[in-house]
Amino acid sequence: MGLWRHCPGTPVRGDGTARRKGGRRLPGNRPAARRGPGAHVPVFRQGHGDFTGLFTAALKRLDGQTVPQPPGGLQRWLAQTFPDARCICSAVPEVPGTVTPADFPHWAAPADVDVTVVRTPLGVAETGSILLTEAELGITTAGVLAQHLVVLLDPTDLVENIHLAYQHPAFQEAAYALLQSGPSGSADIGGNTVHPAQGVTTLTVILAPRATTGRGEP
């Protein structure tokens, strides 16, 4: 049996009066904001010289793959790699595609996309990650609802580690930022991995220099 005592002045019914009064008092009791430089966090550079090799090895461990720029062109490579693809969403000028992110009326529309092709402004060599933001995708679900994700990466857009990635302008200026490493997957306690889980089935990064110089490492 519970013991309950009614305090004088407090409504007996749970009408939320006390909660509303408490909420009105919160702004006046809020501590003053402290503004100034945050704590210094080192970037932990290891001095790796071959960012491309480091990125390729890290992505392979996570079941993604890195390929050099196809000599026959991206369009031919896509046709040979994904022969059954009927809907190709292209967010890059290098590949025409069948649709663009601007063609989707709402977030769920990319669910029928076979392949999404997009260029990343940033790759992380240490973790094999690529950055996708609203600036590249337009509609952000195009990068996770598609069956396959093909990402163009200029090797000069690689940074060594995640600490440098956090300082990169592309990450700092984004409202939506996804650092993705490999395709979606799920693993049990025995380490048996299944693809996909809740995302793309494959992730392929093509080392393709951009036509113009991108944003570099800070």
Specify the residue for token string 């904001």.
33
Which pLDDT score, from 0 to 100, does residue 4 have? Answer: 47
Question: Closest Cα to residue 128, out of 183, 66, 59, 202?
Answer: 59
For the entire predicted model, the pTM comes to: 0.75
Contact 161, 43 (CB under 8 A): yes
The CATH class that applies to domain 51-101+110-184+196-207 reads alpha beta
pLDDT confidence bin for 46, thresholds 50/70/90: confident
What does the pLDDT look like over 74-96, one tens digit per residue?
999 999 999 999 999 999 999 99
Q: CB of 165 within 8 A of CB of 117?
A: no
- For residue 117, pLDDT over 50 is answered with yes
